Amino acid sequence: MGKINNVTEFELLGFSQNVEVQKACFVIFFLFYTIILLGNILIMLTICFGKLYRSPMYFFLTYLSLIDLCYSSVTAPKMIRDLISERKTISYEGCLMQLFGVHFFGSTEIFLLTVMAYDRYVAICKPLHYLNIMNRSVCNKMLVGTWVAGLIHSIVQLSLVVPLPFCGPNVIDHYFCDVHPMLKLACANAYVAGVVDTANSGTITLGSFLILLFSYAVILWSLRHQSKEGRRKALSTCGSHMAVVIIFFGPCTFMYMRPDTTFSGDKMVAIFYTIITPMLNPLIYTLRNAVVKNAMKKLWSRKLVLQK
């Protein structure tokens, strides 16, 4: 006997039912999303036209901006529209697509940040062999690997929800569709699915986080033999990466290392890795990176010259 689905759409509760709070949130998150779009597009254009992509670090940074752009776009536009809509609904198919997108781009970003940490490790700890180790072929393979790994993870997450029947209620206490909130609405025992989800997402999140912390610890230890100027440059670059890692992985670990349990504050925690991190990445990598800032100045100067 096939599954019974009486639910054709879900209602997303969002952040608050207070109209004034919703209006304030609309302005704030509309501004945040605008910054995400402009900031990440600017980073990609700067790296592309400035030909910085020849360096492995900026090659990966281009795709980090692309992923951030896609990742935030999976949830932010719908969330912003719901803040000024009376009916905050999403179709069953749309909910599954959103769940897939969140985990696909989210996990791909996790794997890419891990690859970027390895790139920094090679650059700082093995500078003489850096270009040989991180050649374009290796970078391309690493990049493809992050997308493939993200795809596999998201397919696993989707396969946990698709077989489950939903017969009501259809209210999701969140601003986007995720596995745990949907498992709570299933008209069947979803305990195994919850355990698998925690094991899958939790292992990826915590495992990558520990690998990143270990790699940066090794980098910091190796800096003791560097010159003062070398330590300053390395710490500046690693500091940017570590800021991203803490802001992104902290909330992710809190969300996905728990068993099949949801809290009312989960939606506020999720803001950090779906909105705040994609917004801060361009600022962190631009404001703390002299190479990117100089490339932007050259592009701006070239534009002014062409206009005259």
**Torsion of the alpha carbons at 188, 192, 197 and 202, rounded to the nearest 10:** 140
Among 240, 236, 305, 291, which Cα is nearest to 50's?
Answer: 291
Residues in the chain: 308
Strand partners, 172: 12
* Burial group, residue 211, by CB count within 10 angstroms (0-12, 13-18, 19+): middle
| pLDDT of res. 41 | 93
Cα-Cα end-to-end distance for the chain: 72
| pLDDT of res. 3 | 61
| pLDDT, tens only, 212-268 | 888 888 888 877 777 777 677 767 767 777 777 888 888 888 888 876 666 667 888
Pair 52, 291: CB distance under 8 Å: yes
Beta-sheet strands, E only, within the chain: 9-12, 89-91, 171-172
Three-state SS at 90: strand
The secondary structure of residue 85, as a DSSP letter, is: -
- Which fold, 9-307? Rhopdopsin 7-helix transmembrane proteins (1.20.1070)
CA distance 85 to 56: 44
Residue numbers of the chain with a pLDDT score lower than 70: 1-4, 230, 234, 237, 259-264, 287-288, 300, 302-308
**Cα–Cα distance list, 290 to 84, 285, 297 (Å):** 40, 9, 10
**Cα–Cα distance list, 162 to 32, 59, 248 (Å):** 32, 36, 28
**Cα–Cα distance list, 165 to 71, 132, 168, 182, 294 (Å):** 28, 53, 9, 11, 55
**Cα–Cα distance list, 125 to 52, 58, 163, 263, 290 (Å):** 22, 18, 48, 43, 21
